[in-house]
């Protein structure tokens, strides 16, 4: 299965609780923290919900 590299680029301060939960669910802890997650529908849904705060890169 392919992987996705996700980096948080904007602060979580003042965001909706649902958006904070999505970032936490992806395993991201703070700004500029990068994680590698599986390319699953669940992860893609969380990434899509908070894409305005993230930098996403596909890994082959």
Q: Domain residues for 21?
A: 3-59
Q: How many CB atoms lie under 10 A from the CB of residue 28?
A: 21
Q: Print pLDDT tens along the chain (60 aa).
A: 899 999 999 999 999 999 999 999 999 999 999 999 999 999 999 999 999 999 999 998
Tokens representing residue 24 in the block:
């936490």
Number of H-type helices and E-type strands within the chain? 2, 3
CATH number of 26's domain:
3.30.1390.20
3-state secondary structure of 17: helix
Contact criterion met (CB below 8 Å) for 19 and 51:
no
pTM for this model (two decimals): 0.91
**Number of domains present in the structure of the chain:** 1
Phi and psi at residue 5, to the nearest 5° = -100, 125
């Amino acid at each position: 299965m392919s992987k996705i590299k996700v980096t948080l680029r904007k602060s979580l301060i003042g965001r909706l609780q649902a958006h904070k939960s999505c970032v936490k669910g992806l395993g991201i802890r703070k700004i500029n923290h990068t994680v590698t997650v599986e390319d699953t529908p669940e992860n893609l849904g969380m990434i899509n919900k908070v894409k305005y705060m993230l930098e996403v890169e596909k890994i082959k």
